Structure 1
Amino acid sequence: MTTTTTWTDDELDRIGHAEELEIASLRRDDTLSSRRTIWVVRLGDDIYVRSVNGPGSDWYRSTRVRQEGRIQAGGVTKDVTFVDADEETNDVVDAAYRSKYGHYAAHIIQAITSPEASSTTMQLVPRA
């Protein structure tokens, strides 16, 4: 049985300030998939990720199998559960991506905040 925990303030700060996060999903046989590098945002006490390429992305599709995996960012390595975000959260996550990554080209920010990308928004919940 999986037990969830909460992020520590230090983990939230380190992950939230990291430019990129490495993510790997847990396969049916309990092995981890190859790590992928993605962007990450912090909202209060929560951490969110999404696929810039939408639901067709290999890494995103692999999160659908067990909805568990491992992340690394800012010197933090943590086993997590992937929890689909609700639509109301997407607007706030869009704003967080625009704020954190706004120094990138406009077309990149448009891609990460597109409806297709928003449909893949997941909260990362730490597992014990």
Structure 2
Amino acid sequence: MNTPTHQLSSEEVRVIVDADDLHISPLRADGVTYGTPTWIWSVRVDDALYVRAYHGQSSRWYQAAVLHKTGRIHAAGLTKEVVFEPISGPLNDRIDAAYRAKYASSPYLGAMISSRAQAATIRLAPLES
């Protein structure tokens, strides 16, 4: 059975966040096929990689991620099988700060640090075979 391991390596997280080109593909309803890759913002906090759903918990990719708990990411030439770990609580304040620092000039920043998006925060961890 697949289980989550430690975090992605610090270098992998740096490369992914710096490239700002993360595509996420949770498993589809069949639990086997990967969904269509969705481009998504990513941030780094303490060498861990976090993403949020712009449309909150109603986002299709978020719902699939929470239901199936695994999927795949593509970024900066890397392809990784990952586990989706929902995040809540005080860590969201630090994740907000990372979004503010990285996307300060974006008109979409407000939506990404809203309570709606906070409720759909996911930590990406590597999947162990």
TM-score normalised to the size of structure 2? Answer: 0.90
- SS of aligned partner of 1:52: coil
Question: 1-side partners of 2:114 and 2:33: how far apart?
Answer: 32
Q: Give CA deviations for 1:18-53 in whole Å, capped at 9, x if unaligned.
A: 223100012334110111111000112210000011
In structure 1, the partner of 2:86 is 84
- SS of aligned partner of 1:64: helix
Question: 1-side partners of 2:31 and 2:123: how far apart?
Answer: 23
More divergent stretch after superposition (51-60 vs 2-11): 2-11
What pairs with 1:4-19 in structure 2 (closer than 5 Å)? 4-5=4-5, 6-19=7-20
- 2:56 aligned with 1:54, yes or no? yes
| Paired residue type of 2:95 | V
Q: Percent identity among equivalent residues? A: 37
Q: 1:62 to 1:3 in 2, by over 3 A?
A: closer
Question: 2-side partners of 1:29 and 1:115: how far apart?
Answer: 29
1:64 Cα offset (Å): 2.1
In structure 2, the partner of 1:66 is 68
Does the Cα contact within 8 Å between 2:27 and 2:71 map onto a contact in 1? yes
Q: Give CA deviations for 1:80-123 in whole Å, capped at 9, x if unaligned.
A: 00001121111111110010011212xx1110000000000010
Does the Cα contact within 8 Å between 1:80 and 1:126 map onto a contact in 2? yes
In structure 2, the partner of 1:31 is 33
| Paired residue type of 2:117 | A
| Paired residue type of 1:55 | Q
Which structure is higher in helix share?
1
Which structure is higher in strand share?
2
Number of aligned residue pairs: give it: 126
TM-score normalised to the size of structure 1? Answer: 0.91
Q: Give CA deviations for 1:46-85 in whole Å, capped at 9, x if unaligned.
A: 1000001111111111112211000011222100000011
> What are structure 2's unaligned runs of at least 5 residues?
none
> What are structure 1's unaligned runs of at least 5 residues?
none
